[in-house]
Every structure is written in C-alpha cells, then in structure tokens.
Structure 1
C-alpha cells in the first residue's frame, strides 16, 4: 500500500471513528426512540397548524399533518399502547423464530451443522458466500434478519475472524441488498401493484408485469456480492481488527472434532428436516393447494405459504433440534427442550424492551403523517426541477434513499411516491419499469444506516453479544461504507445497465421496457 492509499485509509478510519464516537454518546437506543417519539408529538402539533398544497396520492386531497398532542390523540395513544406493542411485526417474527432456533442451537444441531459447513467452505470465499446467502434469504421474508445475520457472526468467529465483520457483511446483504435477488419474492408483485396504479393515471390500458425488474435485480445480486465483498475485506475488517471481543461467548458453539454420535444425530435430524420440506413441497405443488393465494401464486404476500414463513422457520429448526438433542443425549426429557427455549428468550429480553419504545415511535411517526409530507414535498421539488432523464433517475435514487431514513417500509414509501414519480417520468419518456428499478436502488442503499428500520435494534443486540459497548453509532459507522458504496455504485450500475440494455436489447425484466411508450 503506497503513502496515498495509507492516507486515504486513515482518513476513512478517522471519519468512521468520529461517527461511532458521536453515535455512541447518544442515550441507550430504547431512550432514543422514546425521545424521538416525544419530538414527533411536538412537531406534529406545530406542522398541523400549517396548510400544504401537496396532494396526498392516498386520498387525492391536500396532505394534512395530524396533531398528536390533542386530548383525543393522547387518549387513543394510551388505549392502543398494548396493541401497538404486541402488533409490532418484527417482535412476533423474532420471538417465534428464535424459539425454534433456540432448540436447534442448545441441542447442538446448529453447532454440528456449522462445523460440517466450515470444513467445506474455503476461507477466502466465506465473505461472498455469506453475502449471497443473505441476499437469497429475502425470498423467505424476514428469515435473513433472524437467521443469517446472527449465524454469520458465529461462523466468522469460528473461522478466527472478527464476528462483527460477519454481522456487517450479512446485514449488508440482507438489508442493503434488499432489491438484489435472482429469485422472485413477494416484494415484486407488491411494488408492481403501486407502479400499475401510478402508470394508469397516464395510460389506463397499460399493464405492468410483476417481474418487470427481475433481470436487473438478478444482475444486481452479482454486483452487490462483489462490491460487498470488497468493502467487507478491505475496509470493515481492517477497521475492526483491534476491536476486542469482550462479550459473553461462552455459550457459542465449540468447533472441536465431530464425534460419530454427533454425525449420526445430525444426519438423522437433517433427514427429518428434508422429509418435512418434501411434505411441504408436496402440499404446495397442486394448483388447488390451500397454500396458494387467490391468484394461484405461492409467492404473493397474501398466499398462506408466505404468511407461514416464520412458523415454518420455527418448525424447521425446532423439530430437527429435538431429534438431534434426544439422539445425541443433550436432551434427556421434554423439560430440557423447554429449558432451551427459555434460554433463547432470556437472550432476547433487551430486544423486547427496545422493541416496545421502537413500536411506539414508529406508530406515532406514521400517525402524524410527517414522513408522508417529507416524501411528497421532496418528490414535488424533484418534479419542478425538470432535469434531463438520466439526471432525474439519479435524483429519484437519492431522494428515495433520503426518504428511506424516515419512512422504513418499502411498500409504504412506494405507495406515496409511485403516483408522483411514475406518471412524471412517463411524460419524460421513461417507462414505469425503469422508474421502479431506480426506486428499488435508493430504497435498499440506505436501509442499513437508519435506526428507524424495524430490525436495526435487533442487529445492535447481535453485535452486543460479542462487543458489550456496541451502540447505534458503532453499527452505523460499520454500515456507512456499504451504504455509500451501494448508493453510488448501484446507481452507476443502473445507468450502465440502462445504456447497455438499450444497445443490446437486454430487458429490465419480464415484459418490460426502458422508454414510454415502449
């Protein structure tokens, strides 16, 4: 490394260390969410007195900020507090999945699986393998957050690498690469539905295919794996090299030699798991399967199969964990199995507390309409600038990435922005397919640096298992290099894909186009 490269690396480290230092001086994450909720209350009272001309596409009326400090609003807040907490989607997802994972972990099943996997995975390919698995995990909705990210920390620790590096790489793949996947998932038809609505305001006869971005997202998966691999090994790992692992690692899997009893137990438990997957496949195969949605699809969000992903994760770990535990002898009775589930819940106690305040804040932010106001006003400013097509596409990517810091849900943002962006760009000759692709790039790139992303607090908890004083600042500082690289690199990749696609007739996806009319 020459002197210029060394100075550049030192500059990056100094910048990230500054972010980490400032971020970790903030109060406990749970208190940050509490203070943020109180701030939203005050801002809602102020902005509710103002009149806005921007039209809310959900109501076709001028957007209105709701005052959360009225008597009725405060009474409603108290009356719905329990429901808001228990209805917080990530809470149930995490706890149910961890009940099953806890049995598989404490029985030793995961331990043996990791030992076998580590023997077959070249160390140099560990990082891209983790990122690729994290990207593919999107197909199973939230599986990446509750399985891939924590397991990546365990695997990196077992391989003699810093566990936070593994967590960062997996988080970058799961959340930063959210729109990079070569396997279609429920998010595709969900976003397409809002794109269709926006396009119909200009052309009532237009038909947008649910897989209109599939070719682009497939190509993006390779790009994100390569870019994430470079960021992880060249920036994140050197920076964390001197960070001491001082957490409680006593209950992490040991990676000594596999005994014959463990090997036989693993094969039996895995055979049971595969039999369960085979039974599930058989049940879903028929066109009249009760696991299919109203349209006959298995991957639409309303399909019972998609709604059952988390319970299936529970069963696919719980059952093999029980089989392995009794076969190997780590479980002597049903009480041992229950004890393993209890231990798993003990480890999630801090997350439950943090989720309580996070749920209240997100509910208040959504009820105030401040996030919607920010999104709509930003889109109107972009529209008024009347920039060239390529510059407008870049503007949409960056505006989406900024709005994503305040409005976490991908579908909620697109419900607000699609009725503005899609018809606006159609009038500039840009297809709804390309507009949606630009949105997906921006939406993914800043996921990993916003504490408002519902699973962000959970990743902080994962990190604290290894480094006790990990805070929001630590995680943001770890993920900023990915976020900046994805935002800039992926945007350039989209522009290049656009140019090459037109020249060599490479589509964005199924029945898609780059221009309107196509």
Structure 2
C-alpha cells in the first residue's frame, strides 16, 4: 500500500488539483448553456455589424451572420423556444428508450443480471467477468456505478484477492467503457440526436441514427475486457500486493456477498427466455428476403428495421422487464408497469432540464449561421495548412479527453462541441457518425480520473472502507494505467479500422460518400 501513498504531491497530482478547482468553478451545465446563449447573443451582434459571410462549398449559397439581438433574432428566440425543446432530436429518442431501460432497472433485472454474472463466474475469469459486466452495465447508467464496484470488492475479498483491485477493475469497466456496448443504449440515442442537430446545419436532411457506431463499439467491448483484465492482473494487482485488513473498516470485512434469491434467478431465466423469443421473432421478420422489416428492395441496410430500432429496443426491454418482474414478484399487477416507468422518468428529470437549455443554445447557434461560418472558415484554414487527415482526428480525440476532465456530463460536453466540430469535419468530408465515434473514445477514457466526476469520489469512498489511508491521489494513480493504455490501444484500433475500411455501423463508413 505504501507504493501508492504520496508524501508530497507529485506534479501530476498538482495538475489534477488545478483541474479540480477549475472544474468546480464551472457552473451547472444548465446554467453554463444559459451563459453561452447570452454570450452568443453578444457575439452574433458584433459579427453581424461587420457583414461577415462565407460561400457554402456545396450549394454556393452565401451564408451571412445574423444577430440574435435584432428584431428578427428576438422574435426567433421567443417563437422557437418550445419547438427547440420538443423538436430536439435526442429528447424523444432518449425518453422513449428509457421507458424500457428504466422499467428493467426498477424491477431489478439489471441488478440481478450484474450480480449473477460476477458471482457465478469461475475464479480464473473473474476479472474478465467484472469488466465485462461493468461495460455492459452502462446501459443501466448510474446503477452500474453504484452496484458493480462494491460488489466486485466483496467478491475479490471472498476469493482471497485484494478487494480494491476488484473495485478498480469494475470502475474501469463502467467508466472507461461507458460508451461501449453490444446493445444499443440510451447513450447511442442521446449522442446521435445531438450529432444530427449539428449535421443538419450543413446538410438539412442528414440523420445520424443510434446504430451508426454499433459495429465499432461492439468490437470495443471485446478490446476493453481483454486489455482491462490484462492491466488489472499484470499492473494493478502486483502494485497493491497482498491485502492488509489492518486499515479496513471492520464492518466491510464481515460483509458477505448477497447472492440473488431463487425467485430472482428464476426471473432472470424467464426474462432471458422471453427476450430470446422476441429476438427469434425479429429474425423471422428480417432474415427472409421478403421479411416485413426489410426494405422494399429487400435490403437490411437501409430498412424499416434500422429506421425503427428505438421502438424495437423499447419493446425488447419491456418484454424482458415484465417477464422478470412477474416472476420475481416486483410486478404484481399490470398497473405496476406504468408506475415503475414513472419512477424511472423521475431519474431523468435532470436530463430533461439540461436538454431544454442545450436545445436553445444549439438552435440559436445554427440560426445565427455562426456554426456554418466557423466550420467553413476553419476547414479552409486546415486545408490551407494541410492538416486534414487522421492526425487531425486524433488531435480531436485528445482535445475531448482534456475537456472531459473539467466537464463531467458527456451529453453536455457533446452538446457544446458538436455544433462546432461536426460541421467542421463534414466540410472535410468526414461522416458525422465518424466524428461522433472519435468523441466517444475521448469522452470515455478519462472518466475515471476526472476530478469533477462525482463517481470518482463515490468509488473512493468504497475503497477507503478497505483501506482508510486511500486518498484522491491514490485512486487517480490506480486508474491512470487504464486511461493511458486503453486510450493508446483504442486510437490504434480506431486508425486500423479506418485503414482497413470496415464500416463503423450499418451502412456507415468514415467518409460522407460511404
């Protein structure tokens, strides 16, 4: 343990302290968007005074800067406020998606699934099981952060391994792997909606769907599990050594892992059977050449299946949740279903409030034409200096990792960055879905070392129960190998994917013409 206790703050620790102070001085994301909207009003007024304009490279149309403080601008802000909110692409997608995911969480399906996967895994693959469960657990959002790290600590302690090592593996899976999954999740819907809003400033009818990063993010799950387990077993565990209970809370030492009850296990079994039958039904409508969910031309890409992926996933989770709840006893009557969905929606209240402010800012930014003007001007500058290839995309990933250290909300960060970078990369011929994918890599890897991430402090609290000497510098130094190594491998994987030319999602490549 002495290897991670610092007598004097290192240079890196001092940098993190500065980042923490800066992050803590930032206002709540809702207030931040309000400030940015006010700032945008002033900037648009100043820029319009100079009659700034550019020529759109694809339509040859003159794009002129407009002022939000003009009569036209003020009327736009007033008349568009409700439409900006209700018509914001991520809003409906995420709310509908959370009907199903939230219900599955409230009935206890996700908790039982996570517990069963970890507890019943053979000792030889326990690290892989913990990280795998952490990565897939992000579909349950905050619940994964709360359930998996302490559970992993107890499991590790029960099999005679250092409990903090188990928590580090779990936190790496949930945090660093936050945007990766085999299943289309709320994150996919949220990010694709914001990307669509930003992309339509260049191509009005352009749509980024929740499945547009599916292939790459599914492959990323495998990479994260293998690399994360290697880091845990070869770097983290040797560094921490043998667990010394001297500094542990006596209460945590006596805690036992609570295995799922027989009813919960039966519920999980029935849920998986019901979900499997639903998947078989879907397959029968997709695989045949004349399947209902194929296009009129008989294709799957595009097809009604992909166009309607959100309601299809919604139905899947409702079926799974009801099957589990009826068996486990968490759903006793039909009226319980809407009540539980309502409780899940209460957890979304913070997101709804944030979306209202973000939607206004993005709409104002697009209306002033400053988004398009800045994108066109920046793309011309980058082309002039010949900085337009994969080096630029990698630089963008690094920029995202830095910003993520001071803005803990991934949706808020993308709502800030997408209106600038999505149009910019589109003018350089990059698919918005590809830009979004680059963002997701940068946004994930620094989650576990961000001083403003509240879950860093929460997991630190779990770890301190096993070692009271553990401090903020301890958890950061513990998680840093995951960040650095996975970032490097993820970027290499990202570049190799592009070099080989594998689609990043159904029908989506790196460039706009793919």
Q: Please indicate the TM-score interval, normalised by the length of the shorter structure.
A: 0.5 to 0.7
Q: In structure 2, do the counterparts of structure 1 residues 86 and 412 end up closer, same or farther at CA, with 3 Å as the change threshold?
A: same
**Cα deviation, residue 219, structure 1:** 8.0
Aligned-residue CA RMSD (Å): 5.4
For residue 394 of structure 1, what is the aligned residue in structure 2?
A: 391
Contact map agreement 2:128 2:225 (CA 8 A) in 1:
no
Give the alignment partner of residue 173 of structure 1, picking from 172, 177, 184. 177
Aligned equivalents of 1:6, 1:465: Cα separation in 2: 21
For residue 293 of structure 2, what is the aligned residue in structure 1?
A: 291
Give the alignment partner of residue 158 of structure 1, picking from 145, 151, 160. 151
Q: 1:330 and 2:323 equivalent?
A: no
For residue 103 of structure 1, what is the aligned residue in structure 2?
A: 103
Q: In structure 2, do the counterparts of structure 1 residues 38 and 489 end up closer, same or farther at CA, with 3 Å as the change threshold?
A: farther
Q: Residues 332-384 of structure 1, C-alpha deviation per residue, up to 9 Å, x if partnerless?
A: 32233332222212222222222211221222223233333333322222222
- Structure 2, gaps ≥5 residues long: 154-163, 183-188, 204-212, 240-255, 404-412, 462-475, 504-508
Give the alignment partner of residue 128 of structure 2, picking from 121, 125, 130. 125
Contact map agreement 1:56 1:62 (CA 8 A) in 2:
yes
Aligned equivalents of 1:9, 1:227: Cα separation in 2: 29
Q: In structure 2, do the counterparts of structure 1 residues 437 and 38 end up closer, same or farther at CA, with 3 Å as the change threshold?
A: closer
- Structure 1, gaps ≥5 residues long: 135-143, 179-184, 199-212, 239-253, 423-434, 452-458, 469-476, 502-506
For residue 508 of structure 1, what is the aligned residue in structure 2?
A: 501
- Could you tell me the TM-score, scaled by structure 1's length? 0.63
Q: Residues 61-96 of structure 1, C-alpha deviation per residue, up to 9 Å, x if partnerless?
A: 354333222222222222221221122233323322
Contact map agreement 1:292 1:298 (CA 8 A) in 2:
yes
Q: In structure 2, do the counterparts of structure 1 residues 342 and 117 end up closer, same or farther at CA, with 3 Å as the change threshold?
A: same
Q: Residues 163-196 of structure 1, C-alpha deviation per residue, up to 9 Å, x if partnerless?
A: 8985764454354899xxxxxx9x9xx99xx9xx
Q: 1:12 and 2:12 equivalent?
A: yes
**Cα deviation, residue 409, structure 1:** 8.2
Give the alignment partner of residue 425 of structure 2, picking from 413, 417, 422. 417
Matches for 1:116-515 after TM superposition, within 5 Å: 116-121=116-121, 122-126=125-129, 128-129=131-132, 133=136, 146-147=139-140, 150-151=143-144, 153-160=146-153, 169-170=173-174, 172-175=176-179, 256-293=258-295, 296-300=298-302, 303-386=303-386, 393-398=390-395, 413=421, 416-420=424-428, 442-447=438-443, 507-509=500-502
SS at match of 2:49: coil
Q: Residues 430-472 of structure 1, C-alpha deviation per residue, up to 9 Å, x if partnerless?
A: xxxxx99996775444445999xxxxxxx9798899899xxxx
Number of residues of Structure 1 aligned to a counterpart in Structure 2? 424
SS at match of 1:173: coil
Q: In structure 2, do the counterparts of structure 1 residues 324 and 95 end up closer, same or farther at CA, with 3 Å as the change threshold?
A: same
Aligned equivalents of 2:120, 2:496: Cα separation in 1: 36
**Cα deviation, residue 21, structure 1:** 2.3
Contact map agreement 2:132 2:173 (CA 8 A) in 1:
no
For residue 207 of structure 2, what is the aligned residue in structure 1?
A: none
Q: In structure 2, do the counterparts of structure 1 residues 488 and 262 end up closer, same or farther at CA, with 3 Å as the change threshold?
A: closer
Matches for 1:16-31 after TM superposition, within 5 Å: 16-31=16-31
- Could you tell me the TM-score, scaled by structure 2's length? 0.63
SS at match of 1:333: coil
Q: In structure 2, do the counterparts of structure 1 residues 394 and 480 end up closer, same or farther at CA, with 3 Å as the change threshold?
A: farther
**Cα deviation, residue 264, structure 1:** 2.3
Range 85-94 or range 348-357, more displaced = 85-94
SS at match of 1:334: coil
SS at match of 1:159: helix
Aligned equivalents of 1:177, 1:65: Cα separation in 2: 41
Contact map agreement 1:156 1:166 (CA 8 A) in 2:
yes
Q: In structure 2, do the counterparts of structure 1 residues 406 and 173 end up closer, same or farther at CA, with 3 Å as the change threshold?
A: closer
Contact map agreement 1:68 1:368 (CA 8 A) in 2:
yes
Q: In structure 2, do the counterparts of structure 1 residues 367 and 223 end up closer, same or farther at CA, with 3 Å as the change threshold?
A: farther
Contact map agreement 2:135 2:180 (CA 8 A) in 1:
no
